[in-house]
Chain A
Amino acid sequence: MKIALRVNGVLHEVDVEPRKLLVHVLRELGYKSVRVGCDTATCGACTVLMDGRPVKSCNVLAVQVDGAEIYTADYSDEVMEKLRGAFKRHHAAQCGFCTSGMLTTAYYLVRRGVKSEEEVVEGLSGVLCRCTGYQNIINAVKEVAGL
């Protein structure tokens, strides 16, 4: 099936098998920051923004995103750059494998105007990190969210 999707502002037209997952299409298009860490939509390393909302791209068929606007962790704007700066200062990334999912989720939380630490924690709880113990990630997101 032919679909069109916009990724980080760039339009892509691709011919995909109906069973193909969005995460695989994005990776084949070169968006390698979208990572595969599980088979059960648990780890969140593949989280991208689809029409403004975070989705686990392993849980979305590529054909479902025809016409959609996708943002990945490669995206750059003021909020994403602030998040990058805060992640670096707070040492919020270690191995980096979950970091893309953390950044896209954090971007959504900040844009949505997250109000409290509890909301940050709950918002990030869909992305697993095995390295950091989470505190530095939570602190980085809080800083950018002005909490």
Chain B
Amino acid sequence: MKYVGRPIPRVEDELILRGKATYVDDVELPGMLYAGFVRSPYAHARVLKVDFSDVLKTPGVVAAFGPGDGEPFSFAPGGKVRYQGEAVAMVVARDRYVLYDALEKVAVDYEPLPAVLDINDALRPDAPLVDESLGNNVVHDKVYEGGDPDRALKEADVVVEGRFVVQRIIPSAMEPRGVVAAYDGDVLTIWSSTQVPFDVRKEVAKALGLPLSRLRATQPFVGGAFGSKLLVYPEEVWVATAAYRLKAPVKWVATRGEDFKATTHGRALTLEYKVGASRDGRILAVTGTVYADAGAYYWGEGLADTAAQMLPGPYDIRHGRLRAVAVLTNKTPLSAYRGAGRPEATLFIERIMDHMADVLGMDRVEIRRRNLIRQLPYRNVFGITYDTGDYPTAFERGLERLGYRDLKRWADEEAKRGRIIGVGFSVYVEITTFGYETAVLRAERDGSFTLYTALTPHGQGLATALAQVVADELEVPMESIKVYWGDTAYIGDGIGTMGSRSITAGGSAAVLAARRLKQELARAAEALLGCRPEYREGVFQCGGRSVSIAEVVKAVYRGKAEAQLTVEAIYHTEPTFPFGVHLAVVELDPETGFVKPLLYKSYDDVGVVVNPLLAAGQVMGGALQGIAQALYEEAIYDEAGNLVTSNLAFYYVPTAAEAPRYEVYFAEEPHPSKHPTGTKGVGEAATIASTPAVIMAVEDAMRRLKPGVRIDKTPITPEDVWRLLR
């Protein structure tokens, strides 16, 4: 019985669908205290004084911590706050209603400073400084170069220049961040809505000077993350410290408004480009600068760099120079959001291809056909080696499977009836999978297996997918494998779920653990049987005799044979590269500029697909996030640095009414990665591919009304459409 490749419903659902999944706010402990934060109303201000005299007189208030309390309470570092919503003080109380009243009683004296909110302003020599110690607002500046871009540009028949602005996104996981910490005088236990419990444990241990062995970090059910929970946040350290000092359980869960300001934002990259091509449409050189609007602290390292290094995408471009610059501004710190630089890279190069196609008067399919990489493995101009695939074949098959030509014809027909339909597509190559991952597998005496993973699933269904790959390796029923995750008591270290790496990194670790466990059990079985056994479906046999795994385990416990019944595998990975073609169909209302996504179709070569039901779920959910980036969402600040889109009422997360219908396809003959699972990752594919496909579709629709119109930003809102059409 092979499980890999089958659309098996999730084992996780039993808890979720009965309301029994425990998220961090559901953790209740006797004597629980509640923490809350006083946050700056100013984008940039000196903090002159924090006065707790009133709040500490309030009944029910237990403690307050502020800038004067020393490390690790790093409130207002350097005596100032750098963005609206930065924490200034923390109050701990016995009841949440008491807490929120009490927070109002903390008196803070601020001296507002001029705020800098736009990267162009931040780069001016006279700009206010977000971090005085830098001397300017550029926190990172690195050049990636390959070939001879200057000569290639000089020799090009056509050179195009432009600028594309990607907005700031608020990741908006449905569960706001939160943390519970409890200290009983012996062990400090932390529950956090995080993607990185191992990092939380390390950071808190460091902050408090505790050995790792006295600290346990656990990840309860997490209500979505999308990269916004992959840093260790100050609140996690502060709440843990309060619990440690007060020797009591302390809980903090962000309100939505608080979460919008205190949880990292994503995207916010701008590309300035100059690209040269030959008359027949071959892109010869890509040059330019990727700017990241990094926000107040440089927490999201490498976003502009990833966008730069992956910008050549699936195209054979031999000359390039891209500068990656991160600029500090008085806004919420920028970090990963589903794709983290790769969606921007794809959007940038896909817009460049369209721009060049326009200038050359070439079809948008044809220009891509002429530039696609023909032979894998392929080392791109910035030194990244794409592993496996057949891009030209997948491109043609993808367009055919998605019905691109038919849909274009249908849109022409509908135009005769007065409907404005746009059809767009995108091509992407994605880099996934980094670092190592850990799995611990234990054979139980009844023949069942317990798998501990260092992955940190938060909706992906990894408990199901891991059980599938391990069941296949052990040749046992999936139901005999129970998967646990997110707890440093099970596993010493690992990384977690992010970057479309989970089943490739953590699944491969689990496969290796299963292989080692089989070897261990085979050793014991040999001792019991007196001959070297064959293994099949949970049974060792040779010489006409056999023992089951359960019998081997029992024999080991009785001292009749020796084996490790618990094995650990630490798997070190290398990047792997999914490829795909996605298609979007939209309808435009010329009166209002409103764009309705009608249909979204995808064709991906993501290597082995462990569970097509779950993989399709990743594609559809990712697609809607990318569609929303194209059409709806944007974190908007006013000129004083107030976050105007300060909660879900003002920030446009799409509802069921905005969702298109989806059709999800995976390549019939995929190109596996070289990892034990053969997978390449699917979590971010559609977030990467959907935004450029939708933007092309909107532009296609608009050109039915106004030829030559070009979109150079996301989102393209109804107002933008309306203005561009006039």
Contact = CB atoms under 8 A, between A and B. Distances in A.
The judgment on whether A and B are partners is yes
B659 A134 contact: yes
By secondary structure, the A interface counts as loop
Contacts of B253: 36
Contact of A87 (B13, B172, B173, B656): B13
Interface in B214-245: 221-224, 226
A133 B662 contact: yes
Interface stretch (B103-111, B408-416, B614-622): B614-622
By secondary structure, the B interface counts as loop
A130 B656 contact: no
Interface string B94-129: 001100000000000000000000000000000000
A47 to B, nearest CB: 12
A73 B400 CA distance: 43
A136 B617 contact: yes
B461 interface: yes
A119 to B, nearest CB: 11
B648 A17 contact: no
A94 interface: yes
A43 B17 contact: no
Contacts of A52: none
Given A96-B16, A130-B174, A125 B657 contact: yes
B647 A42 contact: yes
Interface residues of B, number: 55
B133 interface: no
A39 B257 contact: yes
A100 B459 contact: no
A6 B557 CA distance: 52
Nearest to A126: B655
A137 B621 contact: no
B19 A133 contact: no
A130 B224 contact: yes
Interface stretch (B22-30, B271-279, B706-714): B22-30
B656 A91 contact: no
Interface in B649-696: 649, 653, 655-657, 659, 661-662
B256 A39 contact: yes
A74 B662 CA distance: 30
B62 interface: no
B578 interface: no
A97 B256 contact: no
A84 B17 contact: yes
Contacts of A138: 656, 659
B176 interface: yes
B172 A130 contact: yes
A95 B620 contact: no
Interface in A41-87: 41-43, 45, 72-74, 84, 87
A134 B16 CA distance: 17
Most B-side CB within 10 Å, residue of A19, A103, A128, A138: A128
A96 B256 contact: no
Given A36-B25, A133-B623, A128 B613 contact: no
B21 interface: yes
A125 B659 CA distance: 10
A17 B60 CA distance: 16
Contact of A100 (B19, B256, B621): B19
A88 B461 CA distance: 12
Interface in B487-516: none
A72 B19 contact: yes
A110 interface: no
Nearest to A31: B19
A41 B356 CA distance: 46
A132 B620 contact: yes
Given A45-B174, A125-B655, A95 B10 contact: no
Most A-side CB within 10 Å, residue of B10, B459, B655: B655
Interface of B: 9-10, 12-13, 15-23, 25-26, 96-97, 172-176, 221-224, 226, 253, 255-257, 458-461, 613-614, 616-617, 620-625, 647-649, 653, 655-657, 659, 661-662
15 contacts: A19-B97, A39-B647, A42-B647, A42-B648, A88-B10, A95-B173, A95-B175, A95-B222, A95-B458, A96-B459, A97-B224, A99-B17, A121-B656, A129-B174, A135-B659
Interface of A: 17, 19-20, 24, 27, 31-33, 35-43, 45, 72-74, 84, 87-89, 91, 93-100, 103, 121-122, 124-138
- In order of increasing CB-CB distance, the 3 nearest A-B pairs are A33-B19, A97-B223, A95-B459
